Copies of this chain bind each other. A is one copy, B any other.
Amino acid sequence: MSHFQVRTDLALEATETITEADSAYRGVRVEEYYPIEGDVKVTKVMITTKNAAKSMGKPIGVYVTMEAPAMAEPDEDYHREISECFAGELLKLIPDAGKDKSILVVGLGNREVTADSLGPQAVEHLNVTRHIVKEYGTAAYDCSRMDLLSALEPGVMAKTGMETAEIVKGVVEQTLPDAVIVIDALAARSVRRLNRTIQITNTGIQPGSGVGNHRNALTLESLGVPVIAVGIPTVVDAATIVMDAMERVLEQEKIPESYRIADGLDRIGSELNNMYMTGKDVDSVIKRVSYLLSEGINMAMELRMQRKGQSGEATD
A residues sitting closer than 8 Å to B (CB atoms) are 112-116, 123-124, 128-132, 148-153, 155, 157-163, 166-167, 169-175, 191, 211-212, 238, 241-242, 245-246, 248-249, 252-253, 255, 259-261, 264-265, 268, 271-272, 274-284
Give chain B residues whose Cβ lies under 8 Å from the Cβ of A171: 162, 166-167, 170-171
A159 to B253, CA, bound (A): 45
Give chain B residues whose Cβ lies under 8 Å from the Cβ of A282: 113-114
Number of copies: 4
- Closest-CB distance, A312 to chain B (whole angstroms): 24
Contact B280 A115 (CB under 8 A): yes
Give chain B residues whose Cβ lies under 8 Å from the Cβ of A124: 159
Give chain B residues whose Cβ lies under 8 Å from the Cβ of A115: 280
Closest to A212 in B: B280
Contact B274 A280 (CB under 8 A): yes
A284 to B148, CA, bound (A): 25
- Closest-CB distance, A280 to chain B (whole angstroms): 6
16 pairs across A/B with beta carbons < 8 Å? Answer: A112-B283, A113-B282, A124-B159, A131-B161, A167-B170, A170-B172, A170-B174, A173-B174, A241-B242, A246-B246, A246-B249, A255-B259, A274-B279, A276-B279, A276-B280, A278-B278
Give chain B residues whose Cβ lies under 8 Å from the Cβ of A274: 279-280
Closest to A246 in B: B246
Closest to A275 in B: B277
Partner of A252, one of B264, B271, B280: B264
Contact B272 A191 (CB under 8 A): yes
Q: Knowing that A211-B280, A277-B277 touch, tell me 8 more A-B residue pairs with CB under 8 angstroms.
A: A113-B281, A124-B159, A153-B153, A167-B174, A170-B171, A242-B246, A253-B260, A255-B259
Give chain B residues whose Cβ lies under 8 Å from the Cβ of A260: 253
The 7 closest A-B pairs by CB, nearest first: A170-B170, A128-B161, A130-B161, A150-B161, A170-B174, A249-B264, A253-B259
Contact A131 B211 (CB under 8 A): no
Partner of A275, one of B113, B131, B279: B279
A295 to B219, CA, bound (A): 37
- Closest-CB distance, A247 to chain B (whole angstroms): 10
Closest to A155 in B: B153
- Closest-CB distance, A179 to chain B (whole angstroms): 14
Partner of A113, one of B271, B272, B280: B280
Contact B167 A160 (CB under 8 A): no
Partner of A166, one of B129, B174, B279: B174
Contact A191 B261 (CB under 8 A): no
Contact B162 A131 (CB under 8 A): yes
Give chain B residues whose Cβ lies under 8 Å from the Cβ of A265: 249
- Closest-CB distance, A222 to chain B (whole angstroms): 12
